Amino acid sequence: MPKKQIITIPDDTLRNKSSEIKVFNKDIEKIALDMADTIGSYGNQNEAGVALAAVQIGYPVRLIVLKEDDEYIALANPKIVKKSKTAEEDLEGCMSVPQKYGFVMRPKKVKVSAQNLRGENLILSMDGLMARILQHEIDHLNGILFIDYITDEDKIYTLSKDGTLINKQMKML
C-alpha cells in the first residue's frame, strides 16, 4: 500500500495546472519524501512505480520525483526547454490511470531546466526511457495525462491479473 493515496481518474485534481514553487523549505522536502515513499511502496508483481508528480498525491505544486537505479531525484519547477525532432512511440502507464497502458509518441531526447530542493538551478539532458518519464511527469504538472495523446483505442490496453496487456479486441501484447 502506498504511503500516500494516489489520486486517480476521473478526479478533476489531475486536470489542474500545478503552482510554481517559490519557497524552498522543509515542507517541500517533506512532500518529496512522501512522493519517494509512495513510489517505493507502489505496485505488485506486475506493476511498479518509477516517478510521480506531486499533484498525484494531492499537492498542486510543480514537483516531480523520479526513481533511477534505486535513487530518487526530486525536480522542482521542471520545464522542457528543448526537444529532439526525432520521436518514438512506446508503451506508457500511470499510477493515476490504474491498470491502463497505451502507446504514446514522444520526442526521444529532452533538455529540462529545473531546481533541486534547495532552489539551485539544474539543466538535465535525457534520452530514451528517462526522457519519456520526464515528459510524462511534466505533463501531469500541466493537467495532461498520457491517455490524452491516444486517439486510437486499439492502442489502449488493460492489465490482466496475470500481467498480460489486453486491448478491447482481446489482442494481447
Catalytic positions are 137
The length of the chain, given as a count of residues: 173
- Dist CA 65 CA 31 (whole Å): 10
Q: What is the DSSP string of the chain?
A: --SSPPP-TT-GGGGSPPBPP---SHHHHHHHHHHHHHHHH-B-SS-B--EEEGGGGT--BSEEEEEETTEEEEEEEEEEEEE-S-EEEEEEEETTEEEEEEEEEEESEEEEEEE-TT--EEEEEEEHHHHHHHHHHHHHHTT--GGGG---GGGEEEE-TTS-EE-TT--B-
For the beta carbon of residue 77, count every other beta carbon within 10 angstroms: 20
